[in-house]
Amino acid sequence: MMEALSESDRAGRDAAIRAILPVVPRHGWTARSIAAGLEAAGLPPDEASFLFPRGVTSAVEAWLDLTDRDMAEAAGDLDALRTPQRVRALVAARLRLIAPHKEAARQALALFALPWNAPAGLRGAARTADAIWNAAGDTSADISRYTRRATLGAIYGATLAFWLRDDSEDVGPALAFLDRRLAGLARAQRCRRPAGGAKAA
């Protein structure tokens, strides 16, 4: 669970995360990386237990939270787009945000793959799917809210895994993979509609 912080404390945590990321490829998501990030951000070492109370797991969750918040701004103006295009633009923006930190993303995924970190990984994935749908303008409050987020979570997770395995210098192949997944979802939704073209309830 993400810890509730004041605006100033969250700004400090964001600064620490941005400073930690360049260190992770050498030292991994470790206490050493957190200490280096705090020092680079001009924060005292004892801030680690406050900003990241569960150590590296909290640090990775803080990075996910920061990226979720940066994503909408990075995607730009979405008003003229239909909802599927908005979702695609947001996922693309998110991939581009983490692209400079591919090794950090790879190590974060490995960290969350450990059985004792699985709950934190699932929470992070759920928050990201929720952030994407919220930024896309979804305000549904019925059961479709949850099915949409579960479906998007699966698509984003598959796209992220593809990107981490891909050696391309840009996110183009990963976005092509995403487009195929979204097209497949659209086809499946059309097939579920009853005869006459009305949408299923």
> How far apart, in Å, are the Cα atoms of 42 and each of 12, 45, 191?
9, 9, 56
Q: In 10 A of CB 52, how many CB atoms?
A: 24
Instruction: Give me 178's structure tokens.
Output: 């995403």
Select from 124, 106, 10, 8 the least CA-distant residue to 68: 124
42 in the Ramachandran plot: left (φ > 0), alpha (ψ -120 to 50) or beta?
left
| Chain segment 37-88, per-residue pLDDT in tens | 999 999 999 999 999 999 999 999 999 999 999 999 999 999 999 988 999 9
- pLDDT greater at residue 142 or residue 50: 50
% residues pLDDT > 70 (the chain): 93
**Average pLDDT, rounded, for the chain:** 90
**Distance (Å, whole) CA 152 – CA 129:** 6
